Amino acid sequence: MPEIKLTAQLRTQFGKGAARKLRREHQIPAVIYGHGTDPVHVALPGHATMMALKTTNAVLTIALDGTETLVLAKDVQRDPIKPVIEHVDLVVVRRGEKVDVEVSVHVEGEAAPDTLVNLDLQTLELTVDALQIPERVVVSVEGLPAGSQVLAGAVELPEGAQLLTDPEALVVNVTAQAAAEEPEAGEAEGGAAAEGAPADAVASATAGEG
C-alpha cells in the first residue's frame, strides 16, 4: 500500500463550532496519538484527505512544522448523510512495526451450479507490518460444491501476516440453491375443479344464496 503525504496545520480551537468552521474551510479535524506521545490536534486538507482515506487502513505521512510523522488512519468518522469526513484518529506507527488491523474479505470464482455463496464474515483481523497492510484478502470458491465451508484458518494470507480472528470462524458457506416451490396437490386439484365447474352449477349456487 503506497504511503501518502499530507501537510497538516496545528489546531488550537476545539468544539463543534470550531470543527464546523474547519469543514467550511475545506479542512478536516484530526488527532495524532500513540507511542507515548501527547495527542496533537491538527487540521488536514479536506480533498486530499478524503482521497487518501478511500482506502481502509491508510498509512499516511503527516508533515507538521517541519517534521514528518508516519501514522495509520485508525478511526474515520463520516457524516451519515453527506459525503463528509467529520474527524480522523491517526495512530503513530514505526517502520517495521506490527499493527493489528481489520481487512475486508473478497470472494472470487464461481461455485458449482445450483449453489449459493454466503459471505458470513466481512473482515478478518490480522497482525501485519505497518507498511504492508493488504487492501483485502481473497477467498476462491471456484467449483466448490454445496456443503463446502471456508473457515478463517483456511484463508490464504499475505506473507508475514498473522491471523487474529478465531481460525474456526466461518467465512464463506456454500449451500444448495432452493428449488422453486410447487403448489401442493390439494391446492392444484381444488383450483382445477373450480376452473372446470359447469356454468349451471355456479348459477345454481348463486340462486341458492339468494
Residue 194 has a pLDDT of: 47
Closest among 76, 89, 111, 5 to 42, alpha carbons compared = 89
Name the grid cell of 16.
463543534
Residue 110 has a pLDDT of: 95
* CATH number, domain 99-176: 2.170.120.20
Residue 64 has a pLDDT of: 93
Cβ neighbours of 89 (radius 10 Å): 17
Place of cell 465451508: 149
4-93 under CATH 2.40.240.10, yes or no: yes
Q: How far apart are CA 148 and CA 104, in angstroms?
A: 21
Closest among 157, 182, 167, 60 to 105, alpha carbons compared = 157
Question: Three-state secondary structure along 106-144?
Answer: EEECCCCCCEEEEECCCEEEEEEECCCCCCEEEEECCCC
Portions of the chain given CATH number 2.40.240.10: 4-93
Residue 203 has a pLDDT of: 45
Residue 136 CB contacts under 8 Å (≥ 6 apart), including other chains:
103, 104, 105, 106
| Cα→Cα distances 46→7, 32, 129, Å | 11, 16, 28
Portions of the chain given CATH number 2.170.120.20: 99-176
Query: Do the bridges between strand 98-108 and strand 136-140 make them parallel or antiparallel, or are there none, so unpaired?
Result: parallel
Residue 2 has a pLDDT of: 60
Residue 206 has a pLDDT of: 46
pLDDT by residue for the chain (210 residues), tens digit each? 566 899 999 988 777 777 777 778 888 899 999 988 889 999 999 899 999 998 889 999 999 998 999 999 988 988 888 888 888 999 999 988 999 999 999 999 999 999 999 999 999 999 999 999 999 999 999 999 999 999 999 999 999 999 999 999 999 999 998 865 555 555 555 554 444 445 444 444 444 444
Name the grid cell of 137.
484478502
Residue 86 has a pLDDT of: 87
